[in-house]
Each structure stands twice: as C-alpha cells, then as structure tokens.
Structure 1
C-alpha cells in the first residue's frame, strides 16, 4: 500500500511539474484592440493560441491613435484594429516602424440614420457626419462616390478629403467627428458614416440598420500589426496561425452573422 501511495504521489508531482513547466514556458504578449468585435474575435484567438503555448493579454483602447503609438514604443507586442490604408497613413505621418503580418476581419463601412429609413429619404442640405481621420473619413467619401451621391477628383486614391469633392448635388453639409463619438452624434445629424466596430458597440446592426453599406471586397481588410523588428519572431507566426484558424472563423460566422467577415 505504501509503495502504491508513493507511486501515486510521484505521478501527481510529475503532472503538476509538467503543468507548471508548460505555464512557465508559455510566451506572453500584449495586443492592443478597440472594444467590440476586434476584442471579441481576439478572445477567440486567445483560446487557440493558449494551446500553442502563446499567452495573449488583451489591452483595449478607445481610439485609433494610441494603439500604434503604444506598439511603436514597445508597450505592446502587436495590435489588431486597423486596415492597411490607415496603417500606411500612420507610418507616413508619424514614422512608426510597424508592419502588417496577416489579415483578420473586414467591417464594411455603413451609413446610419435615426431620422430616415433609406437614402432616398435624405433631403437636400442634410447633415452628414464622417470620421475625422483621413483614412476612414475618406472611406465614407468613396462610399458616397461609389453610390453616385458625390463626385471626387480623379486619382484621389484611398484618402480623399472634403477638398477633393468636385460635385455635391445633394448639398450635403459634411462635418468631421472623432470616429468613436459618431454613434453619440447620430441623433444630432441626419446621417453618419460609422465604422462597424463602433456601430456594433452602440447597439446598431450593420446588416439591418445601415442605409448604405460598403462593398466588402476592397482594401479595407483589417490586419495584425507588429514592430518591423519583430515580424520574423516565432510568436508572430503562432499568433497569425491562431487567429486565422477554423475555430476563429466559425466563431466570427456564428457571432456576427454577416456584419463582420473573416478575410482568410
């Protein structure tokens, strides 16, 4: 009996030691996200990454500027909240040494209203709020152009500004607002172009509530971003594989039902 108990203790100790060693060897990284779908999808990826020995700590930010600054400064190891045109703009303006290592999800931009049900009801001279950052504000302008509502200068690329509008037959009064504040602004304007993550966070349904919606195919797939110096580190490959896993794709399809799309 004593030998049996000793053997049992030995086995239990071995199991505990293995668990401790596994936990101790897990690499920990901090990833910045914005609240809502980005954070929710990363939670699903976190569970997959844990099985691969990568411990993800999720840090939420309420704006689009700080996550890149925090990453560049070394306070984060990665972030997941932006698309390539926005990153390109940040790198050009702020000289960040950051790079994309994989795509994540796509949030088709939508135009919402508390006052009308369709765009045809929007009257001449209506007020339109758009994000005040060049990339996402330009994204709304491109959406309006593609729907035939305004005209833009030729060759404006992905970052047109209000100065690039060449024809505004509906005489829309366009105001620029911080992207995170647009849902709060919605009752005070006729229509607003709102990023899907902020719309969802405010209780809007991007599929049912948007009166205009961006074509999901395009350059606005969101990305995982790391410091350029880190892009070839083993944990980066593990992170991307964990995110782009069948488990995470199934979570996106079940959770968001078309309002958020997997890009892989």
Structure 2
C-alpha cells in the first residue's frame, strides 16, 4: 500500500511540474495587438488633442483608438509595461531610455510624432538677458527634462555644463554660472502655477499651453528647432513589429494630422516625422 502511495505521489508531482512548465512557456509568447482596436495612453494637452485627430483618421482605415489620458510622465510608461495600454504617445527618446534603465523595462519607439519645444517664461522680465544676478529659475525635477532645460540655458550662453555630464546634467554639474542663478527643481506640472514666485522657469509645452502660455509668443527663450527631443509612439518590445502599428503610424503621420497640428498650434508644436 505504501508503495502505491509513493508511485501515485510521484505521478501527481510530475503532472504538476509539467503543468507549470507549460504555463511558463505559453507566458513567454508575445500577445499580439488587436488589428481593430488599440488603447493608447497620452498626456493631457497637445498629445491628447493630436491623438483625437489621429483617431478620426485611423477610423477611416478600420482602426479604432481608445484614449487614456494621464497628467504625469511616469504612469503612461508603467501602464504600458504592465500591459494596461497597447501604446503610448507622449515622450522623447532620452526620457524613454532613462525610464527603461530606472525601471528595468523594455519599451521601444516605433514612430516619430511631434516636437514640443521647451521654453523659458517669466512674469517679470521681458528677455532672457534681463534676468538679474541670483535670479530664481524653476526647472522640471525629472532627470531628462531637467537636463534639457539646462542645455537650453547653456545654448543661450547663460551657464556652462561640465562636458562629460552634458547629456545627463543636473544642477550640480555646472562648470560656470556667472550670474549665480538659483535653480529650483519642481514637479513639471506644477511649474506654471508657481511661475509668479520665480524670476523665470523652464516649462514643457503641454503644461505651458494648459496654463494659457504660447511657447512661440510668450517665452523669453525658446528651444531651437534642431532639438534631439522629438517625441515617439512607444510600445512593449514584444509588439514592436505588430502589423497594426503600420496603420497607427500612417494615421499619425498623415497629411490631415500635419495640417491639424500646424493650424491648431501655430508653431508651438511641430510635426517631426518629415526629415
């Protein structure tokens, strides 16, 4: 009797382990994206507005887009990595690379979208040259946009960054700060609300537009048009070659969407897919 019990236990254990192996193997297979509907994450503001237009164009090709709108820069990527989104549209490559490194994720870019030129604004001063010694300047507190803001200030000749730190520069990587500016790091979404308490601040375009600020007309310093901070459509690596993404790219990079961007934003947001 004891012998049969041992044999039975062995059979059950073998079956359990085989079942576990089967589940694991199936879990390694990439889940293809739907060819008829995609859930796309966007940040509020220009990205949301533009993808609403993309949605109209995509529908003509039989692709339905459902938007999920976020008000921060982290959740659209964590939601995508966790499978709660199919794709997102809101970020440039330096931010994506830093996110993947920090969170051990494997998200990839699959198509250019727009450039949101970052700009510096001031309620008190009419030009960047008017900023006094010791001026308080607000910067986004996320690493990539903070570096981007410092790079813009360096291009304008206001500061000098340590050469080998330029791409990942923080406020502690200044080689020269002749006017002894005081840099204050703040949540990017909150900077427009605190602009009146600062001498100047670098603000991302989507948050600037939400606050009624036009980068082209209201800023005292505008990011140059040859910026490397172009935005992309982003997916999980396993879905990089899904055929449905071609439909999405074609809809986004269409003449209809380009015309909408140019008319709606009047140069404060730029189509970036044409070389």
Return the TM-score normalized by structure 1: 0.89
The alignment yields a C-alpha RMSD, in angstroms, of 1.1
Gaps of 5+ in 2: 1-33
Look up the match of 1:184: 193
**Structure-2 separation of matches of 1:53 and 1:94:** 35
Which residue of 85, 95, 101 corresponds with 1:76? 85
1:64 aligns with 2:78: no
CA contact (8 A) 1:32 1:58 kept: yes
- Displacement of 1:97 in angstroms is 1.4
**Which has the larger Rg?**
2
1:163 aligns with 2:180: no
**Structure-2 separation of matches of 1:150 and 1:121:** 15
CA contact (8 A) 2:107 2:234 kept: yes
CA contact (8 A) 1:132 1:177 kept: yes
**Structure-2 separation of matches of 1:180 and 1:55:** 30
**Structure-1 separation of matches of 2:71 and 2:88:** 13
SS in 1 for 2:225: coil
Which aligned pairs between 1:179-258 and structure 2 lie closer than 5 A? 179-258=188-267
Which residue of 145, 152, 163 corresponds with 1:143? 152
SS in 2 for 1:208: helix
- Displacement of 1:157 in angstroms is 4.0
Number of aligned pairs? 240
- Displacement of 1:158 in angstroms is 2.4
Gaps of 5+ in 1: 1-24
- Displacement of 1:236 in angstroms is 1.0
Look up the match of 1:28: 37
- Displacement of 1:221 in angstroms is 0.5
